[in-house]
Amino acid sequence: MLANTPSPPYYAVIFSSVRTDDEAGYAATAQRMLDLAAVQPGFLGAESARNEIGITVSYWKDLDSIRQWKAHADHQIAQELGIKKWYSAYQVRICRVERAYTF
């Protein structure tokens, strides 16, 4: 589902990743993190797709909301497990959305 975000400016976190073969706990944690992100202050929406690589983009009101979500205790644990078990590589890009249009 596409995210229904407000008019810019707002912020986006582009998380692109390559998975390992380790499936244990991954899907449940990924879903829990999406559910948890969705109730954080400043969360505006998220979009996610995966085949050869995965791309999850979450949208936020401001940089402070992103900082707080990055530092959230449960999210910190998930980030550590991600590095240890689930991802062979990832990139995080913090962006300011300046313009948007929809069809």
The minimum distance between CB 87 and its own copies, in angstroms, equals 7
Residue 47 engages its own copies in binding (rule: CB under 8 A): yes
Cα–Cα distance between 6 and 58 in angstroms, integer?
Answer: 13
Query: Contact 3/46 with Cβ under 8 angstroms?
Result: yes
Q: Which tokens sit at 77? A: 């644990």
- 25 or 70: whose CB is closer to its own copies? 70
Residue 77 engages its own copies in binding (rule: CB under 8 A): no
Residue 67 engages its own copies in binding (rule: CB under 8 A): no
Residue 49 engages its own copies in binding (rule: CB under 8 A): yes
Binding map of its own copies across residues 17-36, x = CB under 8 A, - = no contact: xx------------------
Query: Contact 34/27 with Cβ under 8 angstroms?
Result: no
Who's near 44: CB < 8 A, 6+ residues apart? 3, 5, 6, 10, 59, 60, 61
Return residues touching its own copies (CB under 8 A): 1-3, 5, 8, 12, 14, 16-18, 47-55, 57, 83, 87, 89-103
